[in-house]
């Protein structure tokens, strides 16, 4: 597909920057194309540029800024198939425009606050691209300029270098503390004081993985023995307690569950499509009755979840979205072509959406009206955007790096 910047003469492309989103952002904006809109962003900018040119208005190149985040702001992280350098694309889901980009190092973990006021990442760089001295750090970006507003080094290179699992780095509800996971030499969680821009400390934890914060001094983890651990870190020594074991040894929970911090609820699917609703609103994690996404007949036909980030949860609508397809066992990381929408309260299926593409990751905007369903294809390097109600594809954004895998949204709804 030809992009606007390919079909415009260089001079005109430069002139188009005047008064529009341009400079560092121009490239990104230029490559977003809207499938269904009558006029693409590129065409719109060409028309506006031509009109200004005709009026004799001067071109005034400048560095653009980011608009204020809204419910349709969506972040696409590209781990780039383990490349040493990576990117994140900041996209307006409503228009399909790339608004900005941030650079990252090796397998960074993006962290976006629910109110859209914190864009940060936990990242790793080496002094000679992929070798030499390693530095782990937390970088916070100004949400308007995308300039770094904090750069906090993490001592002793504690990051867990792994394919990007969203819950391996996260924020407390007040956005003042960033948590990141350490795997080796022993399980631990690092605390970074964002308010004072400094590394705080590592907390030793049991053999448990991923963090699900519920309060400014409390988070939960999922443990090897099949229990959840509650970690309260407000005091001098962390207080750790375990829930009952809630799943069997052969019941494999995927690496990328959906977590709503505002609902204090995890939706955790297994390889076969059983979904555990983990309620973190009480004194200890409580696991409600598991939801079966598929009927027994469907399971026999081979229907099972699959992808990188195959589950999403809409808090206000109380709906679960599960990316699935007919598949062989042990193909659970392969893309899928369908999204099963399930009422989280009743466990009933609401509908099945045919995505029309090989999708690896899904998410939903959290607004109650005009909800968008996002489907990211790592292979196509494209974010497909759907109307959640009709299930129709409304637009798409292509050229999103080399192997985009993670979609992050903010939950700004009250």
Partner 1 sequence: MISGMKTRSLLAALALATLGATGAFAEDKVTVPSHDAVAAAEAPKDAVVVNIAKMKYETPEIKIKPGQTVVWINQEAMPHNVEFQAGVTGEAALKGPMLKKEQAYSVTFNEAGEFPYHCTPHPFMRGKVIVE
Q: Which residues are catalytic?
A: 106
Q: Could you write out the DSSP letters of every residue in 132-150?
A: EEEEEEEEEE-TTT--EEE
CA distances from 382 to 10, 70, 281 (A): 26, 21, 36
Q: Which is nearer to partner 1, 117 or 186 (CB)?
A: 186
Token readout for 411 is: 């939950």
Q: Which is nearer to partner 1, 251 or 334 (CB)?
A: 251
Q: Rule CB under 8 A: is residue 204 a binding residue for partner 1?
A: no
Q: Which is nearer to partner 1, 53 or 188 (CB)?
A: 188
> What's 159's DSSP letter?
-
Residue selected from 103, 142, 153, 207 as contacting partner 1 according to rule CB under 8 A = 207
**Shortest distance in whole angstroms from residue 183 CB to partner 1:** 6
Give the three-state DSSP class for 388: coil
Burial of 238 (0-12, 13-18, 19+ CB in 10 A): middle
**Shortest distance in whole angstroms from residue 254 CB to partner 1:** 19
Q: Which is nearer to partner 1, 93 or 190 (CB)?
A: 190
Instruction: Give how far the C-alpha of residue 198 lies from the chain's centroid of Cα atoms, to the nearest Å.
Output: 24
CA atoms within 13 A on the CB side of 147: 5
**Shortest distance in whole angstroms from residue 187 CB to partner 1:** 6
Burial of 22 (0-12, 13-18, 19+ CB in 10 A): buried
Identify which of 360, 369, 355 has the alpha carbon closest to the alpha carbon of residue 400: 360
CA distances from 61 to 28, 57, 414 (A): 16, 12, 39
- Distance in angstroms (rounded) separating the CA atoms of residues 392 and 406: 22
Q: Rule CB under 8 A: is residue 414 a binding residue for partner 1?
A: no
Q: Which is nearer to partner 1, 204 or 328 (CB)?
A: 204
Q: Which is nearer to partner 1, 76 or 168 (CB)?
A: 168
**Shortest distance in whole angstroms from residue 206 CB to partner 1:** 9
The count of residues interacting with partner 1 (CB under 8 A) is 7
**Shortest distance in whole angstroms from residue 367 CB to partner 1:** 41
Q: Rule CB under 8 A: is residue 224 a binding residue for partner 1?
A: yes
**Shortest distance in whole angstroms from residue 218 CB to partner 1:** 23
Q: Could you write out the DSSP letters of every residue in 57-124?
A: PPP------PPPP-TTEEEEEE-GGG-SSEEEEEEETTTTEEEEEEEE-SS-EEEE-TTS--EEEEEE
Task: Give the number of other Cβ atoms within 10 Å of residue 295's Cβ.
Answer: 12
**Shortest distance in whole angstroms from residue 222 CB to partner 1:** 13
- Distance in angstroms (rounded) separating the CA atoms of residues 158 and 179: 12
Instruction: Give how far the C-alpha of residue 174 lies from the chain's centroid of Cα atoms, to the nearest Å.
Output: 19
Q: Which is nearer to partner 1, 249 or 329 (CB)?
A: 249
> What's 253's DSSP letter?
B
For partner 1, the binding residues in 162-201 under the rule CB under 8 A are 183-187
Contacts with partner 1 by CB under 8 A lie at: 183-187, 207, 224
């Amino acid at each position: 597909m030809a992009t606007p910047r390919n079909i415009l003469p260089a001079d005109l492309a430069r002139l188009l920057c005047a008064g529009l989103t341009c400079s560092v952002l121009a490239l990104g904006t230029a490559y977003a194309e809207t499938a269904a809109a009558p006029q693409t962003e590129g065409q719109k900018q060409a028309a506006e540029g031509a009109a200004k040119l005709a009026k004799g208005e001067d071109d005034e190149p400048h560095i653009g800024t980011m608009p204020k985040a809204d419910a349709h702001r969506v972040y696409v992280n590209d781990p780039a198939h383990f490349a040493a350098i990576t990117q994140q694309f900041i996209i307006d889901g409503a228009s399909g425009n790339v608004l900005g980009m941030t650079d990252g190092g090796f397998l960074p973990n993006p962290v976006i606050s629910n109110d859209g006021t914190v864009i940060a990442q936990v990242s790793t760089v080496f002094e000679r691209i992929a070798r030499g001295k390693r530095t782990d750090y937390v970088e916070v970006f100004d949400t308007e300029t995308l300039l770094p507003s904090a750069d906090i080094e993490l001592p002793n290179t504690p990051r867990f270098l792994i394919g990007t699992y969203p819950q391996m780095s996260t924020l407390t509800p007040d956005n003042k503390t960033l948590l990141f996971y350490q795997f080796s030499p022993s399980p631990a969680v690092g605390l970074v004081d964002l308010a004072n821009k400094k590394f705080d400390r590592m907390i030793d934890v049991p053999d448990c993985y991923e963090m699900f914060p519920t309060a400014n001094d409390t988070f939960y983890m999922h443990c090897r023995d099949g229990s959840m651990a509650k970690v309260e870190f407000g005091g001098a020594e962390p207080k750790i307690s375990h829930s009952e074991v809630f799943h069997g040894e052969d019941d494999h929970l995927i690496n990328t569950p959906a977590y709503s911090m505002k609902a204090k609820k995890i939706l955790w699917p297994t390889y076969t499509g059983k979904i555990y609703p983990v309620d973190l609103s009480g004194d200890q994690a409580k696991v409600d009755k598991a939801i079966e996404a598929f009927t027994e007949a469907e399971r026999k036909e081979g229907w099972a979840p699959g992808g990188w980030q195959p589950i999403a949860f809409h808090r206000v609508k109380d709906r679960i979205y599960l990316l699935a397809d007919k598949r062989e066992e042990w193909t659970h990381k392969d893309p899928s072509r369908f999204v099963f929408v399930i009422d989280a309260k009743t466990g009933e299926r609401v509908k099945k959406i045919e995505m029309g593409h090989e999708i690896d990751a899904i998410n939903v905007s959290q607004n109650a009206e005009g909800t968008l369903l996002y489907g990211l294809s790592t292979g196509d390097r494209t974010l497909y955007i759907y109307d959640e109600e009709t299930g129709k594809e409304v637009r798409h954004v292509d050229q999103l790096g080399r192997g985009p895998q993670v979609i992050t949204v903010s939950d700004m709804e009250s």
